[in-house]
Amino acid sequence: SLAAIILLGLVASVSSCMAVTGGLLISIAAKYGEQHPNLKWHQKFRPHIYFNIGRIASYTLFGGLIGIIGSKLPIFSVSGGALTIIASLIMIILGLQMLRIFPSLSKFHIRMPNFMAHKMHDASASQSNSAPFAFGASTFFFPCGFTQALQFYVLSTGSFAAGSATMFAFSLGTLPALMSVGA
């Protein structure tokens, strides 16, 4: 259900999403604060707002597009149940990693290539208001296990509406923790 997906977003936002996305958001906000030291606190919050609007918009749009891709590829419509099982297993593994029950599971990580991370860090110094929006939008493609598990699930739905609603709900679930980073 969408309520469960929002709850999953809340859990993800205090674990892997905070580690993957929070660092980028803090970097953008810190550079903005350095470039504009005389702004009031609510004016310094601007990059956080643009970042999260970009993030929510991209999750909604790309979630729908992944749903459409799932409907066009016959292998995914036939094996939708298998994809749901794979996505569920990934979520279970992530949960077990968070609980640290099986230390050997800590080796199961997907990381962003260093050259991409360095390029994104350099671009975060941009003075443009569109930079935080673009960085927020790009987080859909970050190697976050929760996001990737939901992307597999959305692929199996074969529906733009289900895909966009699922990813929108997830991004809303991650919003409180990411906005608290800004606060």
Per-residue pLDDT tens over the stretch 70-126: 888 765 545 556 666 766 677 677 666 666 676 776 666 555 566 666 666 566 555
Of residues 106, 105, 87, the one with CA closest to residue 147: 87
DSSP state, residue 19: I
Cα(21)–Cα(179) distance, rounded to whole angstroms? Answer: 11
Per-residue pLDDT tens over the stretch 6-55: 998 888 888 767 777 777 777 777 777 777 778 887 777 888 888 899 99
Q: Which helix (H) or strand (E) holds 21?
A: none
pLDDT of amino acid 180:
84
pLDDT of amino acid 134:
84
Cα(52)–Cα(100) distance, rounded to whole angstroms? Answer: 30
DSSP state, residue 18: I
